[in-house]
Amino acid sequence: VQLQASGGGLVQAGGSLRLSCAFSGGTFSDRNMAWFRQAPGKGRTFVAAIKWSGQNTVYADSLKGRFTISRDNANHMVYLQMDSAQPEDTAVYYCAADRAGRTGSPSTLASTYNYWGQGTQVTVSS
């Protein structure tokens, strides 16, 4: 399994950015997917996750209403729409894939996810 994240860059506070993650090398439509982020000098934290069906999403409480996770099972893509960006959103954003066939709600724990992309840098200027 390989994950390739893209779409990061520099955005002004209040602006929007859309991150993409391309999945390859395995089955996609039976895996939960997630986004995590790591700010400078801090640990990796949960951002959002989406069930394999796309019908169940989970968000970090502080990001609800500003970030939206979605997926396109036909094209093996996961997206993270970031709206009303804030300087504290500055981080490297990672997409992650769970093992195939897990039931239940998607996990918020990094240890659950077996596969990780290389990360894409997002910088929000004030």
Strand order in the sheet with 2-6: 2-6, 17-24, 77-82, 67-72
Backbone angles phi, psi at 16, to 5 degrees: -125, 155
Residues 5-27 have pLDDT tens digits of 999 999 999 999 999 999 999 99
pLDDT of 65 reads: 92
What DSSP assignment string belongs to 57-119? Answer: EEE-GGGTTTEEEEEETTTTEEEEEE-S--GGG-EEEEEEEEEET--SSPP--GGG--EE---
- CA dist 125 and 74 (Å) reads 35
How far out from the chain centre does Cα 16 lie?
A: 15
Q: Count CB atoms within 10 A of the CB of residue 115.
A: 17
DSSP state of 56: -
Residues 25-79 have pLDDT tens digits of 999 999 999 999 999 999 999 999 999 999 999 999 999 999 999 999 999 999 9
Residues 90-105 have pLDDT tens digits of 999 999 999 998 888 9
Gyration radius of the chain over CA positions:
13
